[in-house]
């Protein structure tokens, strides 16, 4: 390690000793002079929630739920926790300078990057004294290889902040960096000049493949990676990542082609989505992502896929077709299979053509072998009947590998710990786990919410045994670890995919809108689903079983794994409430109770980058009220939709399973649209209207609006005359396009800090 340090007592400076406000003594003293920093990172850079110094001696890990960063001494496997440093709110990214004298932390909620100065050789880690304001919701951090420039993705303001490390200030904000910029990778040609490097930034959610293409098809959307020149710090273009035409998994019908289930064998495709991370190896960039395969009919293995998209960094064009990592598990001969669900992070060894992908929902790592731009998932050398799957802690979300390729560190978000993997053995194996931050105290509400977060983010789940001391119950959340709630609701929000569900095309709804977040008890819930077809969170037992193929969390009195209430019993319209049903438990907390608590208290609404005091926002607010938009989109949940009874209330549901009183017919249903079809290929529900969408943080999910994604912008939403006139008895008060623009601006500003507009 070579860091800035004192090399001797040179020169004379003026030093001041101050006690109190007014008294000071000044005298001449010898003073140290720093030496130049010479260390640089070896190999390309990738943003992660944990970071190593260039020499691999020091590890920093973000603790998003604890608002802190933990620093470990990992030199020679010391694994000593040096400090847990408080930073600002929700740190998600960390980056060291190569020498380790500075650590930067992206505080997502605070909109800042904290600076922590370290001088470990002299025994001190300073409290952060500088919090550099950046954009809205900074997420990813990546240090340029020579350690002079720090790049910050601002996920909600769609920008990248460039911080000069010598000055510790933002020297440029790169706007138009794409929608929801997240992961960062930087090339590294090994010289001291980083002006010849390229910065790549993933856009988290995919976008329509072309104007006018509605979602619902397996190729409806494409993903993008923004390219930025490090010389000019300007956007130079983007790399388009295309759908996979054949996932290797087949469906029994084709809903969009109006072919019902059990009609034969049909190839399914998937488009890349949820691009959280990116890493570069050998002239190619690799982007793990959750492929969306929204066309029906559903079975557990044809909804989401585990994709790895690749592009050539010389040409910035996609290389071949995405790899579906799930196929490796499908093709293994060992019948005990755990799929590679929600691939969230990736890292490569420095001196070999191997890498690792963290499957966040399945709590495991898989190993990749790289040949050129082609990656293959590796089998376990000690048991070739199966894919090598290295177990991690709960919900792995970041990976770093030290420079000599001997140790890999994995940040586990829910576990709040770090898995340490020895890379010198075959197969690679876990040698220890480092607790990074404290878990909530058992028995508290915080602990119950955390259990809910764990289950929400798990494709398997781990539950209390039927009898104390017996084997734990697991693998109930999905079949073979295929799906998790988070697979379609990352961080409790939405993948923005329009799925061809049993009632018809339905865009995943962000769950931060389920409960009134202004109510401390979170007791007010909206009617769930676009068709207001569910009145309890526990009703989504149906999704665990029917969509993800899991055995579910509700149990009968004997608590056995195999004896569960039939799915028809769970249906909300059958008059049997699910809330009091017996559930599997985790640490004594009911599994569904915990998931509901997480949805009530644990999901944060995205923060809007639009100022509440912007003139157009204020004017738009007035126009919104004048048009009586609040009739459907008012109240603290920004929707009129509500459950106004204590379940069960079968009389509230019509024959279609809709709570008719919560639906609004506002001209957003076009039965002739190509994606207005049910999962079983029958005509879609919608003639009765839909539960009004919540406008809370709706700005965050662009280019896919309405239940079926028919509108690609808020402008298009307001172009619908019947819709915009619904609050004024059909009288169009918003025929002026400039007025509509102001309403759009107001809607883009709505977040949890916006005062709700009461429903009349």
Partner 1 sequence: MKTIRGFARVGVMALAMTGALLAGTRTASAAPINLETWYEFTFIGAGQPAAGCFPTDPNGDFCVFGAGTPVQPAPAPAWTFVAPTGGAVLTVTDLFESHDGFLIFDFGIPLFITPPPSENPPFSCGADPVVCLASNRISHASFLLAAGAHSLSITPYVTDPDGGVGAFQVSAVPEPTSLVLVGSGILGLVARARRRASERRTR
Give yes or no for a cis peptide into 483 (omega within 30° of 0). Answer: no
Q: Which is nearer to partner 1, 28 or 336 (CB)?
A: 28
Task: Output helix, strand, coil percentages for the chain, rounded to the nearest 5.
Answer: 15, 35, 50
- The CA distance from 226 to 202, in Å, is 6
Q: Which is nearer to partner 1, 6 or 673 (CB)?
A: 6
Task: Dig out the tokens for 631 from the structure.
Answer: 């009739």
Q: Which is nearer to partner 1, 127 or 644 (CB)?
A: 127
- For the beta carbon of residue 567, count every other beta carbon within 10 angstroms: 13
- The CA distance from 412 to 416, in Å, is 6
In the shown chain, the binding pattern of residues 1 to 20 toward partner 1, with x for contact by CB under 8 A and - for none, equals ---xxxxxx---x-xxxxxx
Candidates 111-119, 308-316, 317-325, 384-392 — which segment interacts with partner 1 by CB under 8 A?
Answer: 111-119
- The CA distance from 71 to 118, in Å, is 10
Q: Which is nearer to partner 1, 100 or 272 (CB)?
A: 100
Q: How far is the CB of 433 from partner 1 (least distance, A)?
A: 21
SS3 at position 737: helix
Buried b (16+ CB within 10 A) or exposed e, 308-327: bbbbbbeebebbeebbbbbb
Task: Dig out the tokens for 598 from the structure.
Answer: 């997480």
**Measuring CA to CA, how many Å separate 505 from each of 219, 529, 664, 673, 676?**
15, 11, 17, 10, 6
Q: How far is the CB of 293 from partner 1 (least distance, A)?
A: 48
- Of the candidates 1, 82, 267, 759, which one interacts with partner 1 according to CB under 8 A? 82
Q: Which is nearer to partner 1, 8 or 471 (CB)?
A: 8
85 binds partner 1 (CB under 8 A): yes
127 binds partner 1 (CB under 8 A): yes
Contact 171, 165 (CB under 8 A): no
Q: State which of positions 498-537 bind partner 1 (CB under 8 A).
A: none
Q: How far is the CB of 91 from partner 1 (least distance, A)?
A: 16
- Of the candidates 11, 27, 76, 523, which one interacts with partner 1 according to CB under 8 A? 27
- Of the candidates 34, 133, 758, 760, which one interacts with partner 1 according to CB under 8 A? 34
Q: Can you list the positions of beta strands (E) in 378-483? A: 379-380, 383-387, 389-391, 396-401, 407-412, 417-422, 429-435, 462-463, 473-474
Q: Which is nearer to partner 1, 22 or 192 (CB)?
A: 22
Q: State which of positions 617-676 bind partner 1 (CB under 8 A).
A: none
Torsion of CA 713, 714, 717, 723, to 10 degrees: 170
Q: Mind giving me the DSSP string for 461-478?
A: -EE--SSTTSPPEE--SS
- Of the candidates 12, 38, 77, 124, which one interacts with partner 1 according to CB under 8 A? 124
Q: How far is the CB of 236 from partner 1 (least distance, A)?
A: 37
Q: How far is the CB of 217 from partner 1 (least distance, A)?
A: 54
Q: Which is nearer to partner 1, 61 or 347 (CB)?
A: 61
575 binds partner 1 (CB under 8 A): no
29 binds partner 1 (CB under 8 A): yes
Instruction: For CA atoms 618, 623, 628, 629, give the dihedral sign.
Output: negative
- For the beta carbon of residue 36, count every other beta carbon within 10 angstroms: 7
In total, the chain counts a number of residues equal to 760
Q: How far is the CB of 149 from partner 1 (least distance, A)?
A: 21
Task: List alpha helices for 372-484, DSSP H.
Answer: 445-456
- Of the candidates 76, 122, 262, 672, which one interacts with partner 1 according to CB under 8 A? 122
Q: How far is the CB of 129 from partner 1 (least distance, A)?
A: 9
The DSSP symbol for 650 reads G
Q: How far is the CB of 15 from partner 1 (least distance, A)?
A: 4
- Of the candidates 32, 472, 731, 753, which one interacts with partner 1 according to CB under 8 A? 32
Which among 126, 146, 125, 140 is positioned nearest to 51, based on CA atoms?
140
- Of the candidates 2, 75, 109, 117, which one interacts with partner 1 according to CB under 8 A? 117
- Of the candidates 12, 24, 231, 567, which one interacts with partner 1 according to CB under 8 A? 24
Q: Which is nearer to partner 1, 42 or 168 (CB)?
A: 168
Q: Which is nearer to partner 1, 4 or 267 (CB)?
A: 4
126 binds partner 1 (CB under 8 A): yes
Q: How far is the CB of 166 from partner 1 (least distance, A)?
A: 14
Which among 69, 65, 104 is positioned nearest to 87, based on CA atoms?
69
Q: How far is the CB of 73 from partner 1 (least distance, A)?
A: 8
Q: How far is the CB of 81 from partner 1 (least distance, A)?
A: 11
Which among 246, 244, 242 is positioned nearest to 268, based on CA atoms?
246
- For the beta carbon of residue 285, count every other beta carbon within 10 angstroms: 29
470 binds partner 1 (CB under 8 A): no
Q: Which is nearer to partner 1, 5 or 258 (CB)?
A: 5
In sequence order, the β-bridge partners of residue 357 are 346, 366
121 binds partner 1 (CB under 8 A): yes
Candidates 22-30, 403-411, 522-530, 536-544 — which segment interacts with partner 1 by CB under 8 A?
Answer: 22-30
Q: How far is the CB of 110 from partner 1 (least distance, A)?
A: 19
83 binds partner 1 (CB under 8 A): yes
Q: Which is nearer to partner 1, 124 or 166 (CB)?
A: 124
Q: How far is the CB of 407 from partner 1 (least distance, A)?
A: 21
Contact 693, 592 (CB under 8 A): no
Applying CB under 8 A, the site for partner 1 has a residue count of 39
Contact 590, 583 (CB under 8 A): yes
Q: How far is the CB of 128 from partner 1 (least distance, A)?
A: 10
- The CA distance from 753 to 482, in Å, is 36
- Of the candidates 120, 251, 280, 493, which one interacts with partner 1 according to CB under 8 A? 120
- Of the candidates 75, 119, 321, 631, which one interacts with partner 1 according to CB under 8 A? 119
Candidates 32-40, 446-454, 562-570, 691-699 — which segment interacts with partner 1 by CB under 8 A?
Answer: 32-40
Give yes or no for a cis peptide into 397 (omega within 30° of 0). Answer: no
Which among 420, 403, 410, 394 is positioned nearest to 79, based on CA atoms?
420
125 binds partner 1 (CB under 8 A): yes
Q: Among all chains, which residue has been given the structure tokens 């919104």?
A: 624
Contact 666, 710 (CB under 8 A): no
Contact 637, 522 (CB under 8 A): no
> CA end-to-end span of the chain, whole Å?
65
Q: How far is the CB of 27 from partner 1 (least distance, A)?
A: 4
Q: How far is the CB of 127 from partner 1 (least distance, A)?
A: 5
Binding site for partner 1 (CB under 8 A): 4-9, 13, 15-20, 23-25, 27-34, 82-83, 85, 101, 117-127
């Amino acid at each position: 390690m070579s860091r800035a340090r004192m090399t001797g007592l040179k020169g004379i400076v003026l030093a001041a000793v101050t006690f109190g406000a007014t008294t000071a003594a000044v005298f001449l003293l010898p003073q140290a002079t720093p030496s130049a920093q010479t260390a640089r990172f070896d190999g390309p850079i990738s943003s992660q929630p944990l970071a190593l110094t260039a020499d691999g001696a020091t590890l920093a890990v973000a603790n998003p739920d604890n608002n802190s960063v933990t620093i470990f001494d990992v030199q020679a496997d010391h694994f000593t926790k040096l400090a847990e440093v408080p930073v600002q709110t929700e740190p998600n990214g960390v980056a060291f300078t190569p020498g380790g004298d500075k650590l930067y932390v992206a505080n997502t909620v605070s909109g800042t990057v904290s600076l922590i100065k370290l001088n470990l050789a002299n025994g001190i880690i300073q409290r952060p004294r500088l919090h550099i304001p950046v954009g809205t919701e900074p997420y990813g951090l990546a240090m340029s290889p020579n350690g002079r420039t720090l790049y910050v993705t601002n996920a909600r303001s769609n920008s990248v902040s460039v911080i000069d490390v010598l000055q510790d200030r933002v020297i440029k904000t790169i706007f138009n960096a794409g929608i929801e910029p997240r992961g960062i990778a930087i090339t590294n040609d090994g010289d001291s000049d980083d002006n010849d490097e390229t910065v790549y930034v993933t856009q988290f959610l995919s976008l329509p493949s072309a104007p006018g293409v509605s979602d619902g098809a397996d190729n409806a959307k494409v993903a993008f990676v923004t390219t930025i020149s490090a010389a000019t710090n300007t956007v130079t273009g983007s790399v388009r990542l295309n759908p996979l035409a054949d996932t290797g998994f087949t469906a029994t019908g084709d809903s969009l082609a109006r072919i019902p289930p059990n009609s034969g064998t049909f190839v399914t495709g998937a488009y890349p989505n949820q691009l959280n991370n990116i890493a570069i190896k050998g002239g190619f960039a690799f982007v793990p992502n959750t492929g969306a395969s929204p066309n029906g009919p559903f079975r557990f293995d044809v909804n989401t896929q585990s994709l790895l998209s690749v592009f050539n960094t010389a040409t910035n064009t996609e290389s071949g077709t995405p790899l579906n990592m799930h196929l490796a598990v499908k093709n293994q001969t060992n019948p005990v299979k755990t799929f590679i669900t929600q691939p969230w992070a990736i890292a490569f060894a420095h001196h070999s053509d191997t890498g690792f992908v963290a499957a966040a929902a399945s709590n495991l790592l898989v190993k990749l072998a790289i040949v050129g731009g082609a990656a293959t998932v590796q089998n376990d050398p000690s048991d070739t009947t199966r894919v090598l799957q290295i177990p991690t802690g709960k919900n792995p979300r970041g990976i770093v590998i030290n420079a000599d390729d001997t140790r890999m560190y994995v940040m586990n978000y829910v576990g709040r710990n770090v898995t340490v993997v020895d890379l010198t053995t075959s197969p690679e194996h876990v040698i220890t786990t480092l607790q990074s931050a404290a878990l909530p105290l058992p028995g508290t509400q915080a602990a119950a919410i955390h259990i809910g977060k764990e289950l929400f983010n798990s494709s398997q789940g781990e539950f209390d045994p039927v009898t104390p001391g017996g084997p734990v119950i697991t693998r109930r959340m999905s079949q073979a670890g295929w799906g998790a709630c988070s697979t379609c609701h990352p961080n409790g929000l939405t993948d923005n995919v329009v799925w061809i569900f049993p009632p018809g095309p339905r865009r995943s709804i962000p769950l931060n809108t389920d409960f009134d977040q202004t109510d401390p008890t979170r007791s007010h819930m909206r009617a769930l689903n676009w068709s207001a077809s569910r009145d309890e969170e526990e009703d989504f037992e149906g999704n665990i079983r029917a969509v993800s193929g899991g055995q579910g969390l509700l149990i009968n009195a004997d608590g056995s794994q195999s004896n569960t209430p039939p799915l028809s019993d769970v249906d909300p319209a059958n008059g049997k409430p699910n809330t009091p049903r017996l559930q599997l438990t985790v640490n004594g907390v009911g599994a569904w109770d915990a998931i509901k608590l997480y949805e009530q208290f644990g999901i944060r609404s995205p923060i809007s980058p639009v100022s509440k005091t912007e003139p157009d926002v204020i004017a738009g607010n007035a126009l919104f009220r004048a048009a009586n938009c609040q009739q459907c989109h008012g109240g603290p949940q920004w929707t009129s939709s509500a459950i106004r009874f204590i379940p069960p209330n079968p009389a509230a549901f019509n024959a279609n399973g809709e709570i008719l009183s919560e639906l609004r017919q506002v001209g957003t249903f076009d039965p002739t649209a190509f994606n207005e079809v049910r999962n079983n290929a029958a005509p879609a529900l919608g003639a009765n209207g839909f539960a009004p969408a919540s406008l809370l943080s709706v700005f965050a999910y662009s280019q896919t609006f309405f239940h079926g994604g028919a509108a690609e912008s808020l402008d298009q939403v307001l172009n619908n005359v019947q819709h915009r006139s619904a609050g004024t008895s059909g009288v169009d008060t918003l025929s002026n396009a400039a007025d509509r623009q102001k309403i759009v601006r107001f809607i883009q500003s709505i977040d949890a800090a916006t005062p709700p507009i009461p429903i009349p």
